[in-house]
Structure 1
Amino acid sequence: MRTPAALALTVVVGLTGCAANGTESPGGQATEELRVQVLETLPHDTGAFTQGLELDGGTLYEGTGLAGKSALRAGPLGQPPVTEIPLPSPLFGEGITVTGSSVWQLTWQDGFAIEYDKATLTERRRVPYEGEGWGICQQDSGRLVMSDGSAELTFRDPVTFAETGSVSVGRDKLNELECVGDSVYANVWQTDEILRIGPDGAITGRVDASGLLSAQERGNADVLNGIAAVPGTDEFLLTGKLWPKMFRVRFVPAAP
């Protein structure tokens, strides 16, 4: 289910075992407990039902959802988009990622991904896939990583979009994705939790991203959804569906 939620739910997950500065994942590896340190607050379009976020150079790409309101937009960080390409109704846009000279945008239940020219956002082609599309990112190795709302991440070829493998994470509702090195950051739908996932599917970090919006701001907003790494730094951009703000943040160790 990907329609607006009346209230964002904050889920605290208890895992068995413990380790220094964290807990232990089901696979026995330490899971680092992290929190969000806000470095800067930026404006965000309250009409944007954010599904994907990507910062490439100085350009921020954002994919939005909802049938009849889905789009791919691009522009300088912190400013209104310069280019916006609407998806024809009833297409429901989902996650996005930048790969070389292209931008990929998933669709939720429409069964295909759209490849755009990165510079002009001109559509190049549509590639079919089975199941739902939620989030997508590209690892340093070049392969794409895709989520479908389940506990599984699927690997895909960046040129053909063909499936090349998968890994089980052990947590469902994996949603918007951001790849940093070999790690994948995934927000858990309907929560303020972001998971850092290793190449083998182990959860190596868990970020508590609650408290970014005030109670009043929460009343008119939907869930957290939108993670973009800031290239060349250890910083990220975070926002959500219909949020009035975007945050430049760093993930730091949680207090013991």
Structure 2
Amino acid sequence: MNNFKLLTFFILTISLFSCGSNSDKKSSDFSLKISEDKEEFQLGEEIQVSVLNPKNRKIDSVAFYFEGQKLQAENGNFRTAIILDNYKLGNQPIEAHVFTEGEKQEISKTIKLFNNTAPISYTYEIVNSYPHDPEAYTQGLEFYNDTLYESLGQYGKSKLRKTDLETGEIYNEIKLDDQYFGEGITILDGKIYQLTWREGEGIVYNLDDFEQTETFAYNESKEGWGFTNDGEKLYKSDGTEKIWILNPETLSEETFIQPAHHRGLSSKLNELEWVEGKIYANTYQKDGVAIINPENGAIEGLIDFRGLREKVTQHDKLDVLNGIAYNPNSKKLYVTGKNWDRIFEVNIIEK
């Protein structure tokens, strides 16, 4: 075979192979149109969703879905209306199943749903302060039966410890293997759950003796940041705009919320704490704590902790605010930071 024929054969072969490899990728004949041609909405708004049919194909019926719920459709006009109330915030897809000439085509379009009110602004007052290990790179902080538990991070230095709030005395402590970077902790049903950062798994311990009993995979998320629970379910942040909700039996990530205020989504939510039905979450490298509705992700309040870091001993290793602990018995709230030498009891005051 001469060079020209060989080149022609090669080109035809590549062309045929390429066509064959994409044969199963079929674009839809339909698309969705959202009223007002915008993508961002707030709770309480009503939007109109309709199917565009540029090829004028015969449509038998259309089924619309939003947040897993089937919507009432005006099949004569192949459209529906959605009142954006009682839905989760964040990036939410609207889906439509179009039935046409013996086949079903699925189409979708994502909207951003925000809260309809701005967060309430809070500041703080210091009630008391207590000693804290300045070598502790705090990643998780939680009270259980009036005793403080803490997770420390950094590779080769990660630990889990149990301490006395007033004196700083360490009652019990274990060091994690060097391949782990410790993150958030939470305590539920006699077990301590500790996240690791980029290792893709969490660790479960007995509460009494810190004996490791099992590990669990993250499934959907890629990192572990903050951890808390509501007495039944576990809530886990991962640095993205999502807070995952875990099944306490299987520890699988079953669903999530996306914390949002009235103008956008929030990410880099780090240490989490359950406080009287709300999730308190500090934003990594910021001096603020968000108060989040766990039902829909609405950020209902923001606590400004600026100035608190200046009230601890200043040194080279001093790092950011990170550590929220609420004692449900005394109804008191405590905050600290990475390598801070004090833990502060604070009152939250509306500005």
Distance in 2 (alpha carbons) for counterparts of 1:177 and 1:201:
13
Q: 1:36 to 1:91 in 2, by over 3 A?
A: same
Answer yes or no: is the 8 Å Cα contact 1:175–1:188 preserved in 2.
yes
Partner in structure 2 of residue 179 of structure 1: 274
Does 1:196 pair with 2:291? yes
The match for 1:90 is 179
Residue by residue, what CA displacement relative to the aligned partner does 1:27-59 show, whole Å, maximum 9, x if unpaired? 113411111211111111010000000011121
Report if the CA contact (8 A) 2:124-2:304 is conserved. yes
Gaps of 5+ in 1: 1-24
Write the deviation string for residues 158-216 of structure 1: whole angstroms up to 9, x where unpaired. Answer: 22211121111110111000012431100000000000000210000100011113277
> Which amino acid in structure 2 is aligned with residue 158 of structure 1?
P
| Distance of aligned partners of 1:218 and 1:189 in 2 relative to their CA distance in 1, 3 Å threshold | farther
CA contact (8 A) 1:235 1:251 kept: no
> What TM-score does the superposition give when structure 1 sets the normalisation length?
0.85
Deviation of the 1:232 alpha carbon: 3.1
Q: Secondary structure at the match of 2:239?
A: coil
Residue range with higher mean Cα deviation, 26-35 or 118-127 = 26-35
Match of 2:237?
147
What is the aligned-residue identity percentage?
37
Give me the CA root mean square deviation. 1.6
Q: Give the equivalent residue in structure 2 for 1:58.
A: 146
Q: 1:44 to 1:114 in 2, by over 3 A?
A: same
| CA pair 94-240 structure 1, distance change in 2 beyond 3 A | same
Counterpart position of 1:14: none
State the Cα distance separating 1:218 from its structure 2 match: 4.4
Structure-1 residue corresponding to 2:248:
158
Which amino acid in 2 is paired with 1:242?
N
Alignment check: 8 A CA contact 1:178 1:185 kept: yes
Q: CA deviation at 1:26?
A: 4.0
Query: Which 4+ stretches in 1 moved above 6 angstroms?
Result: none
Choose which of 162, 170, 185 in structure 2 pairs with 1:74. Answer: 162
Secondary structure of 1:82's partner? strand
Within 2, Cα distance between the matches of 1:110 and 1:52? 17
Q: Deviations over 1:94-136 (max 9, x none)?
A: 0000112001000000111100111111111111114100001
Tell me the TM-score normalized by structure 2. 0.63
Q: 2:124 aligns with which of 19, 33, 36?
A: 36
Q: Distance in 2 between matches of 1:126 and 1:232?
A: 30
The separation in 2 between residues aligned to 1:160 and 1:56, in whole angstroms, is 23
Count of residue pairs the alignment pairs up: 229
Deviations 1:78-101 (A, max 9, x none): 222111110010210000001120
Q: Which range is displaced more, 80-89 or 207-216?
A: 207-216
Q: Please tell me whether the aligned partners of residues 139 and 181 of structure 1 are also in contact (alpha carbons under 8 angstroms).
A: no
Contact 2:201–2:218 (CA<8 Å) still a contact in 1? Answer: yes
Q: Distance in 2 between matches of 1:32 and 1:77?
A: 30
Q: Which residue of 2 aligns with 1:124?
A: 213
Task: Provide the rounded CA distance (Å) in 2 between the counterparts of 1:173 and 1:146.
Answer: 12
Residue 133 of structure 1: aligned partner: 224
Larger gyration radius, structure 1 or structure 2: 2
Q: Using the alignment, how far apart are the partners of 1:165 and 1:80 within structure 2?
A: 39
Letter in 2 for 1:244: D
The amino acid across from 1:37 in the alignment is: E
Deviations 1:202-236 (A, max 9, x none): 00010001111327734531000000112134421
Per the alignment, residue 321 of structure 2 pairs with 224
Whichever structure has more helix as a proportion of its residues is 2
Q: Which has the higher contact order (CA 8 A, sep 6+)?
A: 1
Query: Which residue of 2 is the match for residue 211 of structure 1?
Result: 307
Q: Give yes or no for contact 2:273–2:326 (8 Å, CA) kept in 1.
A: yes
The 3-state SS of whatever aligns with 2:254 is strand
